[in-house]
Structure 1
């Protein structure tokens, strides 16, 4: 069923207090959340006998080996049985009943318990790992062929961050990614976009590209102005369902030859700016995560992939990105109790004036916008945009020290 646009909320009706599904997990089971955050379907595989494990465990169920690794797994299976839950002692599910669950035999071997979306007993299904509102990885069984309105299903809407019918704030609409991002959000069904303009009185470059667009409101917003952010939040903070931080200050140069004034500006915008945005808009968003169809859903920021391991050619900028990444991780912990998703979009060198001397591949604004919207549609927590970002992330996960040597040339 297509999700209809919600009616304007009656201000006399109370806002529902956010609740979360049960969040207690073993250390092994937390691996499912790590995979779900990146949009991967992976399960534990025994390194000794090859048996696929479910649920996650500390030792192989077949040979008792403790050598278990998370690996990509075939996501297909058959729905063996289903049930519709009509009553629950848990407050989260009690507010969202009825809720469909089922058991699926994976073609990889194990039988798993899954949330059901548009499938019935006996169907061949495709499995996905999704993050629920508690930030934990859960199994979802859906049809093999994705339908246009599948994300409108109440199960996925409850745990997701899809922009459909939501109001979105873009912190700096003068950045190259802003116009493609607005177009992509509107195509995905966003209700309204608030486009932040720093120093609007100066009519900065890039403002003309978003001015006059339908369902787009320009608002004065400067992430370095704490009082200005508070004023903006007092006006539109209660309407913002998704906040996308696009503000960015970048200058090439390492640490020894970099002007500390420029480095301070990078920290002010890239790291402290994110903190100010979260402080200004976060409390209102955290209080509205259970507020119906257009409940608040996510806070997103764009980071350089070199936040993981810095490139000496942009050393000071990458230091600000590493600081911003640390802010993101802290915000995830602070907003976890409200179920507000905090997403980081890592990108390789972008196609802009500050990366002009670098050779391809570079990330085009449209590609970055598409990655952000796809991440929102699927409820991811970490998105890697572009070949450089994906390659850096893979090598960093394998061996951070080796990646540092590769980037710096081994200190030679």
Structure 2
């Protein structure tokens, strides 16, 4: 069933108050949410006997060992049984009935409970971990071959952040990723793109290429200017379904040799600018997360992968990125009651004038744009773009202290 565009909204009708699915999880169960946020299918594996665990637990069901670790697992299985839930005491599910559920035996061994999308009993399926609207990991069983309209399924639409039929604000149209990102968003079915332009009177480089594009609106927006943000929010705040923060100020140099004026500018744009954007647009978006087909869905910010562990060659910039990451994590908690998803896109060095001295590999604007849109389509919270970002993230998860030594010692 193809998802149709939203009907014209009646301004006299009350906006539906957002509701969330049950969010209580054990500490072990939160591991599913961590994997889902990164787009991985991971389950607990026993280090003693190798048994795969589901549901998550504190001791192995086979040998009672407490040595359980999360590992990527084969995501395939077969549907054993299915049912259609017709009644529920939970407000979230009651608004969305009927809801299809089923049990799936994974090739890895366990039988899991999953939401069913375009599959029936006895069919071979691929199982994904997705974040629901409460930000918790749940199982989705879908066909092995992905169809063009699969994301239109009411289950996936209810918990996802797909750009289709949604209106997107890109905070800084002067970023090299702006044009390829606009193209990728429209290819994914976006309805309209608002592109912010700081100091529009100066006709910044690259903006002329966006003028005249169909369904693209340019507007003055400077993340360092509270009045600019207030004016923009008053004009389009009630229309923004997805906000993508591309505003960035970067200067090379470590801490000892860099002028604090440049460092202050980096903090103003990269960290405090993100905070100002959230303050201006966040409350309106959080109030519209249940607003039908084009409900508000995601608040996205683009960060350097060195927000995880800094590169001394860009010391002050990386400090601003770490601060922005901390702000994004706080926003994730503050937006949680509304179901508005906060996503961080971590990228390696990009192809621009500020990274000329660095060797390949570098991230091209089209590659970054594809990663952002792909992450939105899958409903991810943590998106890693490029080989450098993925490698840094893997080493950081393994041992942050060792990664710091490798970078500061020249081993990165």
Q: Hey, what does 1:177 align to over in structure 2?
A: 177
Cα deviation, 1:30-76, whole Å, max 9, x if unaligned, reads 00000000000000000000000000000000000000000011100
Q: Hey, what does 1:313 align to over in structure 2?
A: 313
Q: Hey, what does 1:21 align to over in structure 2?
A: 21
Q: Hey, what does 1:151 align to over in structure 2?
A: 151
Change (3 A) 1:284 1:410: same
Q: Does 1:125 align with 2:125?
A: yes
Cα deviation, 1:71-121, whole Å, max 9, x if unaligned, reads 011100010000101110000000001100000011100000000000001
Q: Hey, what does 2:348 align to over in structure 1?
A: 348
Shift of 1:204: 1.0
Alignment partners' CA distance in 1, 2:410 and 2:81: 56
Alignment partners' CA distance in 2, 1:5 and 1:307: 38
Q: Hey, what does 2:58 align to over in structure 1?
A: 58
Cα deviation, 1:226-282, whole Å, max 9, x if unaligned, reads 111011101100000000000000000000000100000000000000000000000
Q: Hey, what does 1:210 align to over in structure 2?
A: 210
Shift of 1:143: 0.3
Q: Hey, what does 2:115 align to over in structure 1?
A: 115
Q: Could you tell me the TM-score, scaled by structure 2's length?
A: 0.99
SS at match of 1:100: strand
Alignment partners' CA distance in 1, 2:195 and 2:346: 22
Shift of 1:206: 1.6
Q: Hey, what does 1:361 align to over in structure 2?
A: 361
Q: Hey, what does 2:103 align to over in structure 1?
A: 103
Alignment partners' CA distance in 2, 1:44 and 1:209: 49
SS at match of 1:312: coil
Shift of 1:399: 0.5
Q: Hey, what does 1:187 align to over in structure 2?
A: 187
Q: Hey, what does 2:234 align to over in structure 1?
A: 234
Runs of 4+ in 1 over 6 A off after TM superposition: none
Q: Hey, what does 2:74 align to over in structure 1?
A: 74
Alignment partners' CA distance in 2, 1:373 and 1:13: 32
Matches within 5 A, 1:190-269: 190-269=190-269
Alignment partners' CA distance in 2, 1:154 and 1:354: 44
Q: Hey, what does 1:7 align to over in structure 2?
A: 7
Alignment partners' CA distance in 2, 1:384 and 1:206: 26
Change (3 A) 1:120 1:233: same
Cα deviation, 1:321-359, whole Å, max 9, x if unaligned, reads 000000010000000000000000000000000001111
Shift of 1:410: 7.1
Cα deviation, 1:348-382, whole Å, max 9, x if unaligned, reads 00000000111100000000000000000000000
Alignment partners' CA distance in 2, 1:65 and 1:22: 29
Q: Hey, what does 1:141 align to over in structure 2?
A: 141
Aligned length: 411
Alignment partners' CA distance in 2, 1:222 and 1:33: 34
Alignment partners' CA distance in 1, 2:7 and 2:290: 16
Alignment partners' CA distance in 2, 1:398 and 1:85: 41
* Structure 2 unaligned regions, length at least 5: none
SS at match of 1:293: helix
Alignment partners' CA distance in 1, 2:293 and 2:206: 32
Q: Hey, what does 1:83 align to over in structure 2?
A: 83
Cα deviation, 1:200-242, whole Å, max 9, x if unaligned, reads 1111112112111110000100000011101110110000000
